[in-house]
Amino acid sequence: MWKSLLNLNFKIGKDAKQSILSYEDAVRRVPVQDLNRLRNVFRRDAIGDHLPKSTFSSCVMGEAVPQKVAEAIFSAFGGTSRGITFKDLLAGLVLLSCGTQDEKLELLFHLCSGGTSSMPVMDLIALVKASEDGKVPQHVIHAFGTSELITADQFKGWISQYWSTMGLTRWLLENDFMPELICEPGRHEIPTFYQTLAGVTHLDEKEIFDLEKFYGSLKALSTNGRFDLPLFASLVSPPVPSAVVAHLFHAFDENGDGHLDLKEIVCGISACSRGPLPDRQKFCFKIFDIRRRKTLTIDEVVLMLRTVVCVDEAAVATDGEDSQFLKMAEDILARYSSDPAHSLLTLEEFLIWSDKCRLTVKFMRLLFQVCHIVLGLKPQHKEDEFSSVIEWSQRDAQRIKLPGDVYYIISMEWWSTWERYVKELTHDGLGDADAGITNGGRKRSNALTYATDMIRDIQSPFKQASSSRASTPTLSRSSSTMSVQLRHPGFINNQPLLMSDRTALKSMTDEGGILHKRPDGELQKDDKDFKLVCQAVWRVLSHWYSGRLELPRQCVRLDNGDVVVDIFPVCFKLYKHRVVETGRPYGAYPYAYSGMVSGYSGAGSSYPNSGRSTTERFAFATAAFSSYTKFTEIHDHICRRLRLPSDDLRLWIYADDNNMTLIDDENVNVKRMGLRDFDKILVEIRNRDLTWPEELSSLSGSAVAVARKSSHLSRSGSISREDGSYEKGCCGLNNLGNTCFLNSAIQCISYSRPLTYYFKMGQFLNELNRTNPIGYGGLIAERYAELIGQLWSGKLRTVAPFKLRSIIGKHAPAFNGYQQHDSQELLDFLLNGLHEDLNRVQDKPYVELNDSEGRVDEVVAHEAWENHLRRNQSIVVDLFHGLLRSRVKCQTCSNSSVRFDPFSVLSLPLPLDNLMILELNLVRCDGGGPIKYGLRIDPDSTFDGLIQAFAKACGVPASLIVPVEVHNGIVKRYVPCEQKIQTVTFDGRLYMYQVPTDPDQVTLPDSVEWMETKTNDAWIMAIHRRMVHNDGYYLAWAKATPKTFGTPVMVNQDKGTTNRQLYERVWLQIKRFVGPDSTAVEDCNHAQECGVCPSEFSFVLRIVREDGNWCERCPWYKFCRGCPLAVNDDLFRSASTTIAIDWEPTFYHLRYQDSLEFMILEHESVRRARQEHVEPISLDSCLKAFTHEEELGPDALYSCGKCRKPQLASKRMQLWKLPPALVIHFKRFQKVRELWVKSHKVVTFPVSGFDFSSYLVAPTSVTPPMDELQLASAPSLVNVHSEVCSLPDSSSNNPNRFTNGPPIPVGQGDGDQCHSDYGTVEDETEQRYHNGDGDSKRNSFPDGTGTASVTSQWTSTPSDDASSSCSLAELSDSTDSQRLSSSHRLDLPVDSKYDLYAICCHSGLLATGHYVAYCKNPNGKWYLFNDSSCKEILEKDIDTSTAYMLFYERKDLDYDSFLPEVSAATSSASPATIERSTSSGRAEITAVSNPVATDKTDSAADDKKSMCAIQ
């Protein structure tokens, strides 16, 4: 029966409150100070009037107490679901800790009985089981026989006999373990950081605490969060000479880690400004002891003399002093140095000299003021406070002010009160601080002369030592006792200086407020109404006296070059937009979105329904800026405060609703704009759909509009001219709701100058094809022509492309709405739409696509291009269409099939780099600091692969690397090797530990095994721990709590390891944290006797659990923090995997360098991994990747005509013909694991002179079959063959030529074969001749070419000699039957170099990104088009890292050659005017009907004159 009961979990602790001890009795048993402590702690932890159960378990009972026991005690104390009250908690704790034996026995009985006279035996067993970690002693099972209920007497009798066998009863009844509520003085006491520093310095705890707060405010000024040398120099220099600033910093920086912590600041201040004079002189000596050898060389003495003379206020700097300083240094060394060579000055000799010579006095005085004014130490005496503030202010007044320096305004009323307060507490004000220091009645006018004379007058160093000390001015003096109680100045109150804030708007600047005028109407003045102090003085005064209102003012440079403090900045009221709901009908509010696109079919419903939504401008903040502040600085400041990108914010001068000015030229300042206090500035923030609120307001009710309020300012790199017009082509496009993809594409294509020339001159009217069944009735061409006319009119700043977007949305609904779209897809649709609307082919013939059939590439390419031109002829084809060569090769029989396909946009793949970069720290086993290694690894790989890669990088065997997650200084887990990297989330940080063992001597267990069991015989983890004093505790066990920190160390151990060896191995790993000079305490800035640990080691090793809080060996009721290991030769025996390194508190506070925890050496692999991760690729590499041969997978089998079945194949794309205007698109968006991923890879590309010739397919250099040779020799086909294979005259102006390499005559041998980047064309051609490629039947095959407008199908069938033997003859017949324009011949131009003229850039992600365009104007300047914004930009400032599309143009392109040759007989268009200029600013485009050109020379000249319209 009892064995079955052991497997049950009974409820212990009935919901009945104990009545053994009342609250009143409990209060009488507790001292008042402990009662107050408990009340304060309860207020801190309680929620309302109740302490939650979870807090009771963790903070009152502690984590060592079993959870069920803690819950039982909670219920017995009177806890409910809401928690426990303070009275019930106090009564329970007093009963638990201070109760009598009988009271505690009653409490134990109450835990199970719930206040009844008996309890079930099952509840007792459950209580014992909970307290004994699931184990129940046998005597408990058999104690009561078969009884099911136990009375109180039976329970007490049983407990009195067996109380020592259970943990719960031992905890409550045994004196050594019972909980303590009242902690005896001195027990569990841990010295705090403040107590330790106060014990070794001349400062008390309160001063150290105040210095900590001031130190934090100074540290916050750093850009890197460290109190390093740059921050220190900015605070102390001037007045400290710059030559000695670094040496002063190193005198404070005892551990040499490059930054000052609070301990170093406190100890340095103590040595520098407190204590006896010899200690201060030693610190001064330490500053100039640069080599840290306790002696000064002659160079260091010269530096010291230079410094002390420079600090002397009476010194006059003169030229040629180097020799005099050297002579002085030699004289000092000759008189005081005991060195035989008189070349070194020891510390003792320096002290003797400094006692005799008064040169160091003012330098030490300056250091004294640095400690108080800069570092924030409160002076002990008021005269020191007054003199320090006044002298520091006087030094600052003498220095040259620089723009940007900050000064602070202090109320003159408070300043006067403070002056009286500190002056009257001194004997005679400043005393010697202001008086001139004389020597023998001589007033010193030149410090160098004075110092030289003084050294000569020195007699015996010991004879006048006492008199020198007597004549030396003191650094501080005690204050006198005043008979009259002076009024304390109180906190610095600047509020009376300010005008009342009626608007209660929050300021976006830190000016603090605007000074009001005096009653007579005059402005307030310095030294009369307020006092102007430097930043250091304000900082320390506000720290000492609590300055509650800061009034900072910046120094500005006036027009005449003077730098002054701008006391009265201009205050602006800032406005911005907000959306409000209104019930007004459409168009009733002037800023409503309704009616914005009325009159355009199919577009009205695609814009926001704003009948009940309007925008209004409202004041939201104020801001004050100097009159000399440029608007670019104002713009940047507001962007930083609102956390907005610079491109998403514009500023307007807002006079009223009908008078607004856009700030175009941000280099103009406030004064030039004539702005005054409380003028209004509108902060316009771009909407989420990338529209501008003011543009939407101005466009409401009109389809085409200019900027609502055009600026009268000129801008740098101006797009405006003197006559008020604008640079042609420099016109922005309004964002109509996430239409940046449309705007950027239009801007780029509009800078295709031949096309713009074509539309601007109205030539498109002669070629409109309104009957094309797959066209758009000429509407796209007309709308585009209208928009081009507006963009290039030079009269408009912005244009809203409503009409063009409307017609595009009508025929391509995918581009409707307000979602982001692909700019390349839009461009492809636009080019295709323009082509179909301007197609010169009225009736498209049927063209059959033939395969290569073993023919030479020139013949197949010519045939493909001529077939393309039979159906497609337009200026778009002339400019943008090129030809690609595609070859598919069977992997089984090497049969090849070649196709030539036209393209309009060349899409190049980018390598989708899905590798993640990991920077992991290797924790070494030799005691050295960790080393960071960089890796780039696939996130799908496992940690086993990561370990292998990491081992290769660091040179450590993979079997000796253990991945460990560390969190809050403890080992959270060992990461399993089979787990994937991307599936692991870390709360802490991952470290790679090097196992400290010899693999030849110790065999490591299987990695998975030890990771699961967390036990091994090879190493043990040692965690850093220190005990922290806790004032707010309930029971005495929590008065000192452990805190883990740092990175655990791995220590090797085996069966023969002794305790001493374990200590030594731990010390080897952690001694670097103590620093190399841990024993050289004589050079420290604090008392020596507290800097050394009295024991052999500065720490104690303790056996603890994995969490580092409790002992692994001891039972819970002992509340042991870990059993210590003695430093002896006993064998180390412990089943625990963790030991704690308990640092001695004083040693930790003074000697432990926690900054070294973050000093990690970076391996070269880190830089290399980062570089590879963001390393840009070149356009050349993209082209090589595009033309590289790729293996097709089993999902894209090739239907081989020779094998007569689908086979694996390889595919290769190559460039054959390049268009005059080449558009290159980078395929940044790819689908990976059903998600669209953007490649942010940076692509570098040339701006001018890029040569594509190396990527073009070379002409074939093989002998074709005999039938083609015979056909080629026929006279009737000579011309055709020459067009295919010969190089035209270099003077040809044909714009649509093949861009190819030099020709090779047909029939040449192998010696003249032509090589490409990835092999030769000859091999592919020979295979086509000998493998017998036949006719084609079209089967679907994936394209993968990257072309935007072409898809290809591939197949191959058996050879058909009848169809392949007359290919050239058929080509000749077809050419004769339909003679094509000479502009489409397959000629080969000499020059294949291209210049960049436009870039379309995309930043961000696919759905939330943004497009901008960079375009090169005919004036040779580059401009940035960001929707409606157009700014001139230098070529070097173009952001090429986000390039999405590149627009290249062939060098020296003749634009006139692209105009169509139109005759009167064939002209299908009549002269017409599209739209003329109107009062609303709409552009004019007049169509011109070209007459028959009788004189081509005159026609060409007229065309060149017309071209000037866009140049």
State the catalytic residues: 740, 1410
Burial class (CB in 10 A: 0-12, 13-18, 19+), 269: buried
How far, in Å, are 85, 752, 1046, 1400, 1440 from residue 1396 at the CA level?
79, 11, 55, 12, 12
Residues ≥6 apart with Cβ < 8 Å to 221: 231, 234
d(CA 62, CA 1123): 18
Q: Is the peptide bond before 239 cis (omega within 30 degrees of 0)?
A: yes
Bin 256: left if φ > 0, else alpha if -120 < ψ < 50, else beta: left
SS3 at position 457: helix
Decide: 866 and 1377 in contact? Cβ < 8 Å: no
Decide: 448 and 324 in contact? Cβ < 8 Å: yes
Decide: 911 and 1181 in contact? Cβ < 8 Å: no
Q: Is the peptide bond before 238 cis (omega within 30 degrees of 0)?
A: yes
Count Cβ atoms below 10 Å from residue 241 Cβ, excluding itself: 19
DSSP string, 245-283: HHHHHHHH-SS-SSB--HHHHHHHHHHHHSS-HHHHHHH
SS3 at position 616: strand
Rounded to the nearest 10 degrees, the angle between the axes of helix 298-311 and helix 359-369 is 70
Residue closest to 1121 by CA, chosen among 1039, 1051, 1016: 1039
Residues ≥6 apart with Cβ < 8 Å to 483: none
Decide: 469 and 355 in contact? Cβ < 8 Å: yes
For 1207-1245, what is the HEC assignment? ECEEEEEEEEECCCEEEEEEECEEEECCEEEECCCCEEC
Tell me how far the alpha carbon of residue 12 is from its chain's centroid: 54
How far, in Å, are 594, 601, 603, 694 from residue 611 at the CA level?
6, 19, 16, 17
Beta strands in 481-588 (DSSP E): 506-507, 530-534, 552-557, 563-565, 570-581
Under DSSP, the state recorded for 461 is T
Q: Which residue has the tokens 């160091």?
A: 360
d(CA 772, CA 249): 82
d(CA 769, CA 1443): 35
Residue type at position 993: Y
* H-state helical runs in 382-482: 382-398, 412-423, 447-457, 465-471
d(CA 1041, CA 1028): 5
Residue 149 in tokens: 């209920």
Residue 1311 in tokens: 């010696």
Helix, strand, coil shares, percent, the chain, to 5: 40, 20, 45
CA angle 562, 566, 570 (to 5 degrees): 130
Decide: 1189 and 1211 in contact? Cβ < 8 Å: yes
* H-state helical runs in 882-1040: 943-954, 1007-1013
Residue 683 in tokens: 């902060």
